[in-house]
Structure 1
Amino acid sequence: MEESCHFLCYVLKYLFALVGLLFFLLDIALDIWTVVTFYQNGDYVYMAVMIFLLLGSSVLLQVFSWLWYSDCLDKLETKVETFANKHKLIKPFHFLQLGVFLRYAGVTEMSTKHFLHHTKSFKERKPDLNRDLHMLRLFEAFSESAPQLILMMSRILQRGELELITGLKILTSAAAIAFTIAMYHCSMRAFLQEKEKMSWISTLVYFLWNLLLIIPRVTALALFCTVLPWYLIAHFLSLWMLLVLGVWSQKTDYMKSPGWEWLYRATVGLIWYFSWFKVSTGSIKLKASLYYGVMGLDTLTLLGFWCWKVFEYSGCWRSLNSYIVIPTLIGLYFAGILLKIIYYRWFHPKCDEQKIPKPSEQQNNRQPAAMNKMETDSLESSSEEPVTGVLKRGRTMAANFYY
């Protein structure tokens, strides 16, 4: 019975790796189809904005991927990555915007090897590969998917084409963003010895409260964009700079170089523009209360401007009734906050920060109790080596998430 459960677990992990790759390829195909559709409809401005979002997000991901690869080029364990490094192809791959494909190939290779042979190398390497890949997908969700969703919603509203099928498409896109965040939540399970403390139910609740908070935010931004599109750029830049300063005040230490840390802070500021993401240890109550207070007020301001200008735009008025839309979005926002409080009260596992220490060369000989056996064995076998960027990022993520 126990062997069958383990086998089922292996199958699920393997399927998750394949499904993740398939969805990544499907997302690229849909992006290309959207650009072509904008071109065929003569929406050249929307097409240009779409291309800018795709290229900007892709460059951002490749930069992070290359920086993280450069931390461990001498410790690559998958054949596809080793081959690429041996022939000096990793940098050209990233220059050609193919670095994320290389990471997916590595995860798929290790997943297949583990599925067929249950090898120990999978247990030692795949969590590191997955954590970096989940972070890249998280960055992509808010640098590409969320702005695309706003672009798509604003175009639909301007044309007055809001129907049941388009509403379902919008909901599916928002759910995909929340699902990416939930997968980041799942990746944190590797740091718990007692995995049952972080069940799939907790992941579902985590997904739901993020979905309920993302929908009002992107909808308010899309509605504002329909009536004052150029002002949205000014709104983003001004609020984003304040959010970056807020990230800086948290004294983040995620990247290997202090200079590149500012790129990480700028990216987190982009995430905060849409959704909450914990980047430091300590109590979440004051930080979250301040964040949701500011973002709630900002969302209400956006909705207020839309309601004020909506009578001048018959297409928007014909599609939506402001007396229904605004209370609905406010209700979803408060429901999401309530569900988040429920999650942190009853479903979120907590670890002492000392059990997931901030790594340094002097801490290499310490074995944090919250780390799983795989990572403890890895530390024992390399106690005299400095902590790599992979371990540093993983422990930093865990400390921020659990503490």
Structure 2
Amino acid sequence: MEETFPFHFPLSACLLSLLSTLFFLLDVALDVWAIMSLYQDGQYVYMGVLIALLLCSSILVHVFSWIWYSDPETSTGKFASIDKFAREYGLIGPLHVVQLGLFLRFASLVEISICKIIQRSDRSQEGVAVFLKHDLSVLRLFEMFSESVPQLVLMITFTMQKQGLQLFTGFKIAGSLMSIAISVLLYHCNMRDFVPEDQKMGWSSSAVFFLWNLFLITPRVLAVALFASILPCYIAAHFLSWWVLLFLWAWRQKTDFMDNEGGEWLYRATVGLIWYFSWFKVSKGKTKVKSIIYHVCMGADIGLLLGLWFWKRSVDSARLNPLPFNPYVLIGALPALYITGLLLKLLYYWKFHPNCPSLRFKDRDETPQIQLPRRASEADDSVEMVSADLEYQQTVSGTWKRMRNMVINFYY
């Protein structure tokens, strides 16, 4: 058997956890500031839409968090003292009802990180931190596509309708798009924790992964925002039409992420929301054909949205503010960016995506196996072998199941 590689919670992960907590608090503060700015400017419609986006996203994320806290696998075992206190006094449910469940998760991770930094944590706490970090990365991914990306679409729409594009506003939009691509990269780096050290993401692979996500997400976000700025009454119908189709497609892929049927349907609905903006692999096995179909459909939709935007602006040009840029440049640049993103994605999967050869062991028909840490209650220096063929595995649930299936979906 090849040499195993145990999973730890290193100091670098502790510092990143503390930094991510600060960014989470900053994000909350910026959301409040955005609402107050719209209120002071008298933009009550946009303020109402923003509040609705924030509230719906928060409810979605906290429903997932509450379901995961309620899992029997996480109802026993070792926890951070903050978690223990909340469980002992029955505060888990109330905290999620008042939308403070994520604060509880971040507080627990911060506690373990600080204990690790001052050399007061044991291996079991590090195991808990690994699971906390994974669940938080998934929740933040859901939050990004249900809040941050729609909020960016709203900001671009507001800019195009009311203010006109200014240099500072352009930098803010570019920075927001880059932060979204960085968030996707960080989530992918979290998945790379489950591969050997020699297959971790280097600078070159990280750069290519970041760029292809940036070049694929940017045209999609801008096309949706431009369409919403000129035909705001139709954007809801456009989103719902695509979301229903994508939701049904996620159902057809027979996802297996949650522990109960209701939770699985909620997950599929969330996948449909993510797919509206970006591709997300949710099933094991080769998905080349599915990915091609998705990108062809999204590329055609981007072209349709841009065409409708250009046509409507041409028809109503007399009553609209003049654009600070040549629309023909935008019509040509966004499809070019999308094609460039596709080429970079092909480059990434050709040169940088790990095949995980050191994770393969002889088992039935060379079924790939993945090394994951034991459950937090059993955390030690050993690892558990998990076959990528779910059919032959014992029943697992909770964070253990989510981690295992995510890794399998990413690499097999």
Q: Give the structure-1-normalised TM-score.
A: 0.89
Q: Which runs of 5+ in 1 are unaligned?
A: 1-8, 357-366
Give the 3 Å change call, closer, same or farther, for CA 239–369 of structure 1 in structure 2. Answer: closer
Q: How does 1:43-192 map to 2 (within 5 A)?
A: 43-71=43-71, 72-117=74-119, 119-192=122-195
| Secondary structure, counterpart of 2:323 in structure 1 | helix
Give, in angstroms, the shift of residue 40 of structure 1.
Answer: 1.3
Kindly indicate whether residue 339 of structure 2 is the aligned counterpart of residue 334 of structure 1.
Answer: yes
Aligned to 2:305: 302
Aligned to 1:370: 370
Q: Aligned partners of 2:348 and 2:34: how far apart in 1?
A: 36
Deviation track 1:347-391 (CA, whole Å, cap 9, x = no partner) reads: 1112479969xxxxxxxxxx98531466697497999x9633110
2:116 aligned partner, one-letter code? H
| Secondary structure, counterpart of 2:150 in structure 1 | helix
| Secondary structure, counterpart of 1:320 in structure 2 | coil
Kindly indicate whether residue 328 of structure 2 is the aligned counterpart of residue 323 of structure 1.
Answer: yes
Give, in angstroms, the shift of residue 42 of structure 1.
Answer: 1.3
Given that 1:154 and 1:222 are in contact with CA atoms closer than 8 Å, whether structure 2 keeps it comes out as yes
2:82 aligned partner, one-letter code? V
Given that 1:127 and 1:190 are in contact with CA atoms closer than 8 Å, whether structure 2 keeps it comes out as no
Aligned to 2:391: none
Q: Aligned partners of 1:195 and 1:241: how far apart in 2?
A: 41
Give the 3 Å change call, closer, same or farther, for CA 352–33 of structure 1 in structure 2. Answer: same
The CA RMSD over aligned residues, in Å, is: 2.5
2:105 aligned partner, one-letter code? R
2:292 to 281, 289, 311: 289
Q: Aligned partners of 1:287 and 1:373: how far apart in 2?
A: 31
Deviation track 1:178-219 (CA, whole Å, cap 9, x = no partner) reads: 122111101112211335343343233222211111110010
| Secondary structure, counterpart of 1:319 in structure 2 | coil
Give the 3 Å change call, closer, same or farther, for CA 22–381 of structure 1 in structure 2. Answer: closer
Give the 3 Å change call, closer, same or farther, for CA 204–110 of structure 1 in structure 2. Answer: farther
| Secondary structure, counterpart of 1:371 in structure 2 | strand
Q: Which runs of 5+ in 2 are unaligned?
A: 1-8, 362-366, 386-393
Given that 1:10 and 1:115 are in contact with CA atoms closer than 8 Å, whether structure 2 keeps it comes out as no
Kindly indicate whether residue 20 of structure 2 is the aligned counterpart of residue 20 of structure 1.
Answer: yes
Give the 3 Å change call, closer, same or farther, for CA 134–30 of structure 1 in structure 2. Answer: same
Kindly indicate whether residue 247 of structure 2 is the aligned counterpart of residue 238 of structure 1.
Answer: no
Give the 3 Å change call, closer, same or farther, for CA 189–374 of structure 1 in structure 2. Answer: farther
Give the 3 Å change call, closer, same or farther, for CA 17–180 of structure 1 in structure 2. Answer: same
Aligned to 1:396: 405
Q: Give the structure-2-normalised TM-score.
A: 0.87
Given that 2:164 and 2:321 are in contact with CA atoms closer than 8 Å, whether structure 1 keeps it comes out as no
Identity %: 48
Given that 1:193 and 1:371 are in contact with CA atoms closer than 8 Å, whether structure 2 keeps it comes out as no
Give the 3 Å change call, closer, same or farther, for CA 67–373 of structure 1 in structure 2. Answer: closer
Aligned to 1:193: 196
Give the 3 Å change call, closer, same or farther, for CA 110–368 of structure 1 in structure 2. Answer: farther
Q: Aligned partners of 1:210 and 1:381: how far apart in 2?
A: 32
